[in-house]
Amino acid sequence: MAMRMVWRGGLSLAFFGALALTSLTGCGGVRRIPVSGTVTLDGKPFTGGHLVFSPDNAKGNTHRINCRGRIKDGQYDLETNGVTPSDSGDGVPLGWYKVTFIMLEESTKKHPIAPVDVHGRFRDQDKTPLTVEVKDNPAPGSYDFKLTSR
């Protein structure tokens, strides 16, 4: 009878040990900060397209992620797409990013979209003058962007 008590205690210990190990290795991912703001084109609220934050390797950001958000009525919220599901979700990891603009929608007869005349430098990750640091407690307006057509 004493042997049965030891075995049951050992089984419980093994079960809780395995549970603790899976909780340490299975979750986690990168901590993300909510990022939202405004986008204007030539001083007017912009609609259409997406804002993209790409890690700036030159400033030490080596995350393997893509952060983007749809711009509507001059407003956007970013979410992260990472290599693993735990690296994906709302917000953006801390660090420096290059900021670019992309237009994904195409105009149709049923849903016409006005042509967007965003200067090419804002669409090229290697030429964009826009960079930003995502950090805890940013100042108001830290993630607002002013695009121009020229």
Q: What is the pLDDT of residues 60-74, one digit of tens each?
A: 999 999 999 999 999
pLDDT for the residue numbered 109: 57
Given its phi and psi angles, is residue 26 left (phi above 0), alpha (psi -120 to 50 degrees) or beta? alpha
Domain span including residue 132? 32-147
Q: Is residue 18 part of a domain?
A: no
| Residue 23 covered by a domain | no
Number of domains in the chain: 1
Q: What is the mean pLDDT of residues 122-140?
A: 91
Within a domain: residue 21?
no
Do 116 and 103 touch, CB atoms closer than 8 A?
yes
pTM for the whole structure: 0.73
- Residue 140 maps to which CATH number? 2.60.40
In a domain, 119, yes or no: yes
Domain assignment present for residue 10? The answer is no
